[in-house]
Structure 1
């Protein structure tokens, strides 16, 4: 048997088994008793609902992983990639156009496989637990816009990558890295102005006590913002969130309307201070640098296996091509991606603790952030007791109980 095929199957099955083990550990780690820290904002019924939500979502994720992996393995062994390649070549287009058609067909097949799970997740599970507000019309509109953006933005980038690898010689991977990095920066600037408003409505926060309190805090931190906005997150979900977006004069402070509705003024300021902590501590730039380095590594490794005939034999594809190499490389890169994700998530968790400390110190009210974390957890039905292995491997945020304990320690050391 082709050793490349053995490795690819091992990666697919191994990744599934790892996900299933983590999910199982998470289920076993669900504590039946409400943690004492949350006794002031949870009752037994609400805590039981949050645990039931975790169980339902976890088991659904396990099922989706099993089905997706099984279909992928069957598609691979049955010659599905070869069939798609023959279809793409049957039009006798130039190599880049053929490559776009090949990868586009694979993306459509992947979308069709995931669509039933997305529909059930939104309109069954999220609706069952009172989160979903997405209508079928909104879902279809979002789908159409996302598809159009993928074609208009992703298509040219993919074509450029194919062109570089076909014509760039030994330094093609470097050209791709630089090109994708530049494109990423452009999107970061365009997103708040052109892209995000396609999906949500951003409304300037009206004058009043909350807006004045936010302005007072931003002035105290010498932070210039392009505006303070609420976003109609309630149009799709009842979950709470807040974020910064954009750079320079395009920078926005954005609160979900659900968050403004559920939190008190001092708690909203605490959430804002946490997000500002990420900015002041340069976490955004650090994570962007990490992402850029990962992209460079990806293209470098891709260049090493480009047009490898043994890899093509593993997928049953007869004619070697640059475009198919990109698709096949995704399977080989999965273990590297998993390891890098562990490291990036570890760094992200450290950033969350640092942003919490910044918020506690600059507002002078750590308890406001504690209360906001509790309310966010309650309203979003968060899992309060994830398994340590799940946290280490896949969580970008520390468990809320650990964040609160760290805040308490910060308060104690300051007093």
Structure 2
């Protein structure tokens, strides 16, 4: 007598997921161990290319910071894998779903409750790690500037924003899954992409100010330099702003935010405090290079394409009993919707498989960074770019001696040695 038709593909999915999870765990552990070992081996001497610009103390701080993050990452990896197994093959998500069904029955409110409870439990599980990273790891190296009160305020605000924005879009997606027919995934994808584009436009004006203060750039000399640079590069922004990043972290940065006419340039106050006007010009020119090479558009198009493929795959899997059973869940066959359950299972397992192709994305990102560096050197002083990069690497305690294999797998930005090697030596600071 043959078993039900779903049992064989369900077992195959279970084995495939378990194999991918074990392989990714072993690979991540191996890569992290390589990074820790390589950085530790080169801790005692500044690389020759940086001997005249980076002190041994700064080099060793960067090494110690990298090693500490790597060791914590191993613990986080083990915990994350255990939690993922608990949600999936060990039946945690199924138990939560069944408990809510017994209390609420089926329907939209039960599905939203499943999403909400999953998010709440996941947040509570992540809470100790987040606290450790902020108040032990970052604070131990002098980077954290947040008080516990500010951290709690940020948590409350981000939770409220997540609920006010996340629940309506989740409800709309779930409604489309149940009401838009067999092509629901296409409508859901269009809705999700429209929401993301809208978020890019409203985030700078309505969401970011909830967490940080943004003041117009007041330094008239710097403002004139920056404005001239943008005019030379044919770039227009809605405004130049300074963000009070120093109240949360000592790390320095600058970025563009917004989309279309809502684009604005944001400088961390920590960045302006550490860099000269010429160096600020060079950092900004690097960011302009991303726009001129259409890297931002390329990333948005890639996100569109990958999201479309993901929604199409979910649209097929959500109708397969073996998809649920193979991942430790029991779908409702009585007519009650399984949409939230399918969505959560999909979001849990996809990162396990996509991890193996992440080096391709990292490689493309590093290529884009080289192109942006070249653009910055063509429009500003190369010496300023080199000195700015050195200051930022030192300020952020970025190791100068990462493991080459780890770099190829994870680094979205090239290490300092590779970036500076492509800059003319005559431009040395």
Asked whether the two chains share a fold, i.e. TM above 0.5, the reply is: yes
Question: How far apart are residue 155 of structure 1 and its match?
Answer: 1.3
Report what 2:21 is aligned to. Answer: 12
Q: Structure 2: any 5+ residue segments left out of the alignment?
A: 1-9, 333-337
Question: How far apart are residue 59 of structure 1 and its match?
Answer: 0.3
Q: 1:141 to 1:293 in 2, by over 3 A?
A: same
Question: How far apart are residue 72 of structure 1 and its match?
Answer: 3.0
Q: 1:111 to 1:13 in 2, by over 3 A?
A: farther
Report what 1:81 is aligned to. Answer: 93
Q: Cα RMSD over matched residues? A: 2.0
Report what 1:369 is aligned to. Answer: 385
Counterpart selection for 1:158 from 170, 174, 184: 170
For residues 348-367 of structure 1, give each alpha carbon's deviation from its aligned partner in whole angstroms, at most 9, with x where no partner exists: 1111111100000011x112
Question: How far apart are residue 406 of structure 1 and its match?
Answer: 1.2
1:263 aligns with 2:275: yes
Question: How far apart are residue 80 of structure 1 and its match?
Answer: 1.7
2:88–2:345 contact (8 Å) kept in structure 1 = no
Question: How far apart are residue 131 of structure 1 and its match?
Answer: 0.4
Distance 1:368 1:204 in 2: 24
Secondary structure at the residue paired with 2:241? Answer: strand
Aligned pairs for 1:100-249 within 5 A: 100-249=112-261
Secondary structure at the residue paired with 1:190? Answer: helix
Distance 2:173 2:356 in 1: 25
1:338 aligns with 2:355: yes
1:234–1:258 contact (8 Å) kept in structure 2 = yes
1:41–1:375 contact (8 Å) kept in structure 2 = no
Report what 1:308 is aligned to. Answer: 320
Aligned pairs for 1:42-61 within 5 A: 42-61=54-73
Distance 1:215 1:267 in 2: 15
Greater CA deviation, 394-403 or 373-382?
A: 394-403
1:274–1:356 contact (8 Å) kept in structure 2 = yes
Report what 2:367 is aligned to. Answer: 350
1:385 aligns with 2:401: yes
Q: 1:87 to 1:382 in 2, by over 3 A?
A: same
Secondary structure at the residue paired with 1:90? Answer: helix
Counterpart selection for 1:27 from 17, 21, 36: 36
1:100–1:159 contact (8 Å) kept in structure 2 = yes
Counterpart selection for 1:280 from 292, 297, 314: 292
Secondary structure at the residue paired with 1:29? Answer: helix
Distance 2:219 2:67 in 1: 42
Distance 1:289 1:213 in 2: 33
Greater CA deviation, 97-106 or 354-363?
A: 97-106
2:20–2:353 contact (8 Å) kept in structure 1 = no
For residues 132-158 of structure 1, give each alpha carbon's deviation from its aligned partner in whole angstroms, at most 9, with x where no partner exists: 001111111111111112111111222
Q: What TM-score do the two structures reach when normalised by structure 2?
A: 0.91
Distance 2:409 2:231 in 1: 38
Question: How far apart are residue 190 of structure 1 and its match?
Answer: 0.3
Q: 1:77 to 1:317 in 2, by over 3 A?
A: closer
Secondary structure at the residue paired with 2:143? Answer: coil
Distance 2:35 2:289 in 1: 30
Greater CA deviation, 86-95 or 46-55?
A: 86-95
Distance 2:93 2:32 in 1: 30
Greater CA deviation, 180-189 or 12-21?
A: 12-21
Distance 1:296 1:346 in 2: 23
Secondary structure at the residue paired with 2:422? Answer: helix
Distance 1:360 1:346 in 2: 21
Q: What TM-score do the two structures reach when normalised by structure 1?
A: 0.94
Counterpart selection for 1:66 from 78, 99, 102: 78
1:307–1:322 contact (8 Å) kept in structure 2 = no
Secondary structure at the residue paired with 1:253? Answer: strand
Question: How far apart are residue 86 of structure 1 and its match?
Answer: 1.7
